[in-house]
Amino acid sequence: ANPTKRPSVIWLHFQECTGCSESLLRAEHPTLERLILDVISLDYHETLFAAAGHQAEAARKAAMEANKGKYLLVVEGAIPTKDNGIYCKVGGQTAIDLVKECAAGAAAVVAIGSCASWGGMPSSGPNPTGASSASTVLGKPVVTIPGCPPNPYNFLSAVVYYLTFGKLPAVDQLGRPLFAYSRLVHENCERRPHFDAGRFALEFGDAGHRQGWCLYKLGCKGPETYANCPVIGFNDVGEVSWPVGCGHPCIGCTEQGVGFTKPIHALA
């Protein structure tokens, strides 16, 4: 074995919006370029690949063969299970077939985003395609990095942990790494002193909202959502902010049943 060889990563896209990949594209430490050029060997990724068609599928099969038992499989997107999975096909194969084929030789499987972690947006009622999670289809637990999109640093940290220690980080009962998902958003929210003092924004743009008061009465799900968003900012806001920091209530995007599957009602 070549000790300098970068670990192979196969990244599958199924029912999703590619927001998880977009989120990762905006990471700055490390940048995606550094990750895929220096740290890992991204051998298959439909949106970042230069190759297309048969060439792309051949690259996936070659990488799987050459790195059997050693590559990391990342799944982005839910997997439709109704009608034998015909609602999502890549290269003529259903998502069900593909994820099973790729997981068989993988050292570890990581589900990135809420779609792959528990069905996410595509599984919203009435879920016409039977959108399911990677672990449901594979019939075994996988590491999950939920969020819509997820914080890219939670994904990168899990990958770097795996590359450093040769094992996956400790996770909760939903497969979420404890280092990122063991505290409620509400516990570390910068608006928490306002919550404790009973100062709430009652409408978007009112005086309380403009002064940074608590968003609970605008539907904030921070008190029932486990995620580290207030601690490690991410995405288009220069890595210094997060939904509540920008003035929007947390919609519980990391929690099944808290966010998408229920409408957000103002409680005021």
Q: Is 223 in the site for ligand SF4 (CB under 6 A)?
A: yes
Among 185, 201, 214, 215, binds ligand F3S (CB under 6 A): 185
Interface with ligand F3S includes 253 (CB under 6 A)? yes
3-state secondary structure 25-48: HCCECCEHHHHHHHHCEEEEECCC
Report 13-72 residues binding ligand SF4 (CB under 6 A).
Answer: 16-17, 19-20
114 binds ligand SF4 (CB under 6 A): yes
Please say which residue, 85 or 152, places its beta carbon nearer to ligand F3S: 152
Residue at 14: amino acid letter: F
120 binds, among ligand F3S, ligand SF4, none (CB under 5 to 8 A by kind): ligand SF4
Q: Counting contacts by CB under 6 A, is residue 225 touching ligand F3S?
A: yes
* Cα 216 versus chain centre, distance: 25
Stretch touching ligand SF4 by CB under 6 A, among 34-42, 61-69, 81-89, 212-220: 212-220
The rounded distance, in Å, linking the Cα atoms of 97 and 13 is 13
CB of 246 to ligand F3S, least distance (A): 10
Beta bridge partners of 45: 11
* Contact status: 219 vs ligand F3S (CB under 6 A): no
From the CB of 93, what's the least distance to ligand F3S, in Å? 32
Size of the site for ligand SF4 (CB under 6 A): 27
Q: Does 243 bind ligand F3S (CB under 6 A)?
A: yes
199 binds ligand SF4 (CB under 6 A): no
Q: Exposed (0-12), middle (13-18) or buried (19+): which is 50, by Cβ within 10 Å?
A: exposed
| Percent helix, strand and coil across the chain, each to the nearest 5 | 35, 15, 45
What count of other Cβ atoms lies within 10 Å of the Cβ of residue 263? 7
Dihedral angle over CA of 55, 159, 146, 106, nearest 10: 50
Q: What are the φ and ψ backbone dihedral angles of 92, each rounded to 5 degrees?
A: 85, -5
End-to-end C-alpha distance for the chain, whole angstroms: 62
Residues 6+ apart with CB under 8 A from 83: 130
Under rule CB under 6 A, which residues in 226-245 are in contact with ligand SF4? 244
Residue 19 interacts with, from ligand F3S, ligand SF4, none (CB under 5-8 Å by kind): ligand SF4
Q: Name the residues that contact ligand F3S, by CB under 6 A.
A: 147, 185, 225, 227, 229, 242-244, 250-254
Q: Name the residues that contact ligand SF4, by CB under 6 A.
A: 16-17, 19-20, 76-77, 113-115, 120-121, 148-149, 185-186, 189, 191-192, 195, 214-216, 220, 222-223, 244, 250
